[in-house]
Amino acid sequence: MTGDSMTGKDGAGRGGTHLPSPAGVPAERTIPTGPETGLLKVYFIYDLGLMGTADPVPLLEQVLAAGVRAVQFRAKAVADRVAYDLAQAARGVTARYGALLVVNDRLDLALAVGADGLHVGQDDLPAEVVRRLWPGGLLGVSVRSPEEARAAEAAGADYVGAGALRSTSTKDDARVIGLEGLKAVVAATRLPVVAIGGITLDDLPALRRAGLAGVAVASAIARAGDPSGAAAAFVKRWGA
């Protein structure tokens, strides 16, 4: 797997090598290499815990105009109607830019706003259940080990988010696995692996060399004095 292509390691695509299908998972799952996973090179996490409930459009406009093409919308401990209204606004702006909108954890919210996919953690709705309920949705799974990565692949995930690279202010309970832990996850799965957790611009060369397919970033962009400039720098550095 290379950072440029975000392809599976064996080069198989959605029409390529089929994965074994666990009980309850559609049989025709393949290693994902389509254009949707290729948009995850710089994956912006829009976290209401970080941003509050202000209109997300101004910040997302800056980030997407800078070249980011994937947004994860994370709404923990927010009233359903508030989460829906904000996610709907995010869907509108991502659609204008041809960017992905992936909702964290909330399958109901993802379906309600017409999101492109869902991202789940180890304590959320099981990945195989999400795949059964939403066969066509992009599915990401947070993992911390090779074993969890292999389980996510078998359950029908399209990519995994691995980390944390280091401790992060947005998820203070995240277990740090470091660069060596990320390398172990990359080696364990054919899926694209996106690194997460306290990532800075200086980390990108080492992450690319390690075979990571992209990086997920929250505060390094959202809390920057110039979010547009920060997003553009991540896009440029990853693509360099």
User: Residue 135 contacts by C-beta under 8 Å, 6 or more apart in sequence?
Assistant: 26
The string of DSSP codes covering 158-213 is: SEEEEE-SS--SS-TTPPP-HHHHHHHHHHH-SS-EEEESS--GGGHHHHHHTT--
> Alpha-carbon distance 165 to 177, whole Å?
6
User: Residue 79 contacts by C-beta under 8 Å, 6 or more apart in sequence?
Assistant: none
Can 142 be counted among the known catalytic residues?
yes
List 29, 91, 106, 171, catalytic entry: 171
Query: Of all helices (H) and strands (E), which one includes residue 222?
Result: helix 219-222
Can 41 be counted among the known catalytic residues?
no
Provide the token pair at 83: 């989460």
List 131, 142, 190, 208, catalytic entry: 142
The separation between CA 93 and the C-alpha centre of its own chain, rounded to angstroms, equals 18
List 29, 41, 69, 74, catalytic entry: 74
* Nearest C-alpha neighbor of 202 from the set 165, 160, 159: 165
Query: Of all helices (H) and strands (E), which one includes residue 101?
Result: strand 100-104
Can 223 be counted among the known catalytic residues?
no
Active site residues: 74, 142, 171
